[in-house]
Amino acid sequence: MKKSTSKIFFLVVSVTLFFVFIVLSCSIDEDECALNEDCFEGYSCVDGFCVEDGGDSGNTGNTGDTGNTGDTGNTGDTGDTGNTGNTGSETGAVCGNGIVETGEQCDDGVNDGSYGGCNPDCTFAPYCGDGIVHKEYGEECDDGPDNGTGYGKCNFDCTKGPHCGDGVINGDEECDDGEDNSNTAPNACRTDCTLPFCGDGVKDDGEECDDGDKNSDTARNACRTDCTLPRCGDGVIDDGEQCDMGDENSDTGSCTTECRWNTCGDGFVYDGVEECDHGADNSNSGECKLDCTYNVCGDGHLWEGVEVCDGNVACTSLGGSYFNGYAICNEDCTVLDESGCNKRLPELEVRIYQRGGAFSERMHVEWQSPDGVKCQSPSSKTCYATPVGEIFIIGDGMHADRSPNYARYRNYQNVHGEFRARVYNSLNGECGVDKVEFVIGGSIVKTLTANQNCKTDKTLKMPAAGDTWDVDNFRW
């Protein structure tokens, strides 16, 4: 009796374990999971559910012997037609049964393709996390498996996390004006949430220019790296500049503060090169000469108002009365000694007027110089003396209605002696002199009014003494 009881107990336990194994096997197929480790051995986590792994296909076994044909059984009664079952797959999975089976991404039983659900073919419908931004379902972003939390991330609900452009200064952001962020508007917060700065390519307040990467402290005519315009003194020779030595520009050096080469006449004294520079006022007759040296006694340039002379002077340059020689300037340029100059006689014009009378009257004049040269009228002509001097006769002097008969003594130099005019009449007619005028420098200096009968020779005498006429002794 004991042995029978033991056998019955063992049988009951065995059956019970078998059913437990069956139940566990069924529950494993449908268990939810997050990782493969959540499933039993032989199962993998697929789309949130534990699915039995498919093993490798074994080799095809040998074909067995054909069995004997059995006896034909009795025909049974026809059963009722059953309901049509769900379409099965090659693996035996049924899409739409609400169970995620092998080969299915999902199966919610509804499978209507709604957002976050399952498509009719048991593939995922659009959902947050698929890496596609579905704006029609309100998604702002979707980085797929990279969705998460933190600056610049897309949240797990596909809304944007803290980021540049949200209008809030987050993390290392310098600014954030949201939609007003701009890379072109002056003074705006930039689209990378940095403050406007010199070199961003936008001319902001306080900047004269900003060409971004083209800003340069070496390129000609470029906007400088401190966003100032190119200028004289920045060390770069720009348009309109002759030179630019930067901080070494100097009005006493080779390159002036106007970025021009320092040259004589620019008004800047070049140390070690120029003594002076009065610009447009430089003059060889002033304090600073045209070569930017000071005007000093002995340089051959007369400093007007300060020097009387500077060097010896040719007498002929001092006035019309000198004909040769040099005037000597003393050593301090204060006195010009003209004693070495030879003067010429001023030009003397003698006008002899006839006394009125008949046309038959005749009067001749023979003009004579101390050296014996004679020049006789009638007719206009010039008679030259040696080494210098001339007698210039004007008019014929023969007729009363053509008087006066006159001549000029000119260009005579350093003469001591008498000039003469012999008046005579070679015919029997009357000959009379009414008056004689003597003109020097355009002015009448003497007039002889005594009536002279020139029927016989009459001689007019005009003495000279070196460089002057002895006017007081002009006489008949």
Please answer whether residues 336 and 356 qualify as being in contact, where contact means their C-beta atoms are separated by less than 8 angstroms: no
- Cβ atoms < 10 Å from Cβ of 438: 19
Higher pLDDT, 195 or 6: 195
User: Which range has the worst mean pLDDT, 73-77, 163-167, 211-215, 281-285?
Assistant: 73-77
Q: Report residue 217 as tokens.
A: 């402290």
What pLDDT does residue 375 have? 86
**What is the pLDDT, as a whole number, of residue 427?**
61
Give the model's confidence band at 55: pLDDT under 50 very low, under 70 low, under 90 confident, else very high: very low
Q: Among 74-83, 86-95, 222-231, where is mean pLDDT lowest?
A: 74-83
Q: For residue 74, name the pLDDT band (cuts at 50, 70, 90).
A: low
pLDDT in tens, 155-204: 999 998 899 999 999 989 999 999 999 999 999 999 999 999 999 999 99
Closest to 451 measured CA to CA, from 321, 314, 357: 357
Q: How far, in Å, CA of 367 to CA of 374, rounded?
A: 6
DSSP assignments along 80-128, one per residue: PPPPPPPPB-TTS-BTTSS---TT-S---S-----TTSB-TTSSBPS-T
Looking at residue 440, its pLDDT comes to: 92
Which one-letter DSSP state was computed for residue 381? Answer: E
What is the model's pLDDT at position 86?
45
Paired with 126 in beta bridges are: none
Distance CA 88, CA 65 (A): 32
Q: What's the rounded Cα separation, in Å, for the pair 205 and 191?
A: 18
CB 436 within 8 A of CB 350: yes
- The per-residue pLDDT for 389 is 83
Across 63-72, 366-375, 382-391, 451-460, least confident range: 63-72
Contact of 214 with 208, CB cutoff 8 Å: no
Tell me the mean pLDDT in the region 85-97.
64
Closest by Cα among 382, 368, 472, 352 to 417: 368
Q: What pLDDT shows up at residue 404? A: 62
Does residue 463 surpass a pLDDT of 90?
Answer: yes
Q: Which stretches of 334-414 are assigned E, i.e. beta strand?
A: 336-337, 341-343, 348-354, 364-368, 374-376, 381-384, 390-394, 405-410
Say how many residues make up the chain.
476
Point out the least confidently predicted range of 153-167, 218-232, 354-368.
Answer: 354-368
Gyration radius of the chain's alpha carbons: 68
| Token pair listed for 127 | 């959902």
Judged on CB neighbours under 10 Å (0-12, 13-18, 19+), 289 is: buried
Alpha helix (H) residue ranges in 201-277: none
Report the chain's mean pLDDT, rounded to a whole number. Answer: 81
Q: In whole angstroms, what is the distance from residue 218 CA to residue 166 CA?
A: 40
SS3 30: helix
Question: Residue 435: what pLDDT?
Answer: 85
Banded pLDDT at 242 (limits 50, 70, 90)? very high
pLDDT at 356: 61
Residue 135, helix vs strand vs coil: helix
Q: What distance in Å separates the CA atoms of residue 417 and residue 368, rounded to the nearest whole number?
A: 11
The predicted model gives 242-268 an average pLDDT of 97
Determine which of 173-187, 316-330, 437-451 has the lowest per-residue pLDDT on average: 316-330
CA dist., res. 276 & res. 289, Å (int): 8
Which residue's entry shows tokens 């009005």?
251
pLDDT beyond 60 at 403: no
> Which two three-digit tokens encode residue 322?
């000198």
Strands 322-329 and 415-424: unpaired
Dihedral (C-alpha) 265, 269, 270, 271: value to the nearest 10 degrees?
Answer: 160
Please give the pLDDT value at position 15. Answer: 43
Residue 83: pLDDT band (50, 70, 90) is: very low
The confidence score (pLDDT) of residue 21 equals 41
In this predicted structure, the answer to whether residue 46 has a pLDDT above a threshold of 80 is: no
Q: What is the rounded (10 degree) CA torsion for 32, 38, 41, 46?
A: 50
Confidence of residue 28 (pLDDT cuts 50, 70, 90): very low
Name the amino acid, one letter, at 166.
D
Q: If you average pLDDT over residues 11-38, what whole number do you get? A: 49
User: Tokens at residue 143, please?
Assistant: 């980085």
Q: Which of 124-128, 235-239, 404-408, 456-460 has the lowest mean pLDDT?
A: 404-408
Q: Sorting pLDDT into bands at 50, 70 and 90, what band is 72?
A: very low
Distance CA 129, CA 112 (A): 19
Highest mean pLDDT among 48-52, 121-125, 433-437: 121-125
Q: Which residue has the higher pLDDT, 150 or 276?
A: 276
Query: 117 Cβ partners below 8 Å, 6+ apart?
Result: 106, 108, 110, 111, 125, 127
What mean pLDDT comes out for the span 326-334?
Answer: 94
Decide: 161 and 151 in contact? Cβ < 8 Å. Answer: yes
Q: What mean pLDDT is predicted for residues 240-260? A: 97
What integer pLDDT is reported at residue 61 of this predicted model? 41
Name the band, by pLDDT with cuts 50, 70 and 90, for residue 60: very low
Peptide bond into 370 cis (omega under 30): no
pLDDT for the residue numbered 394: 75
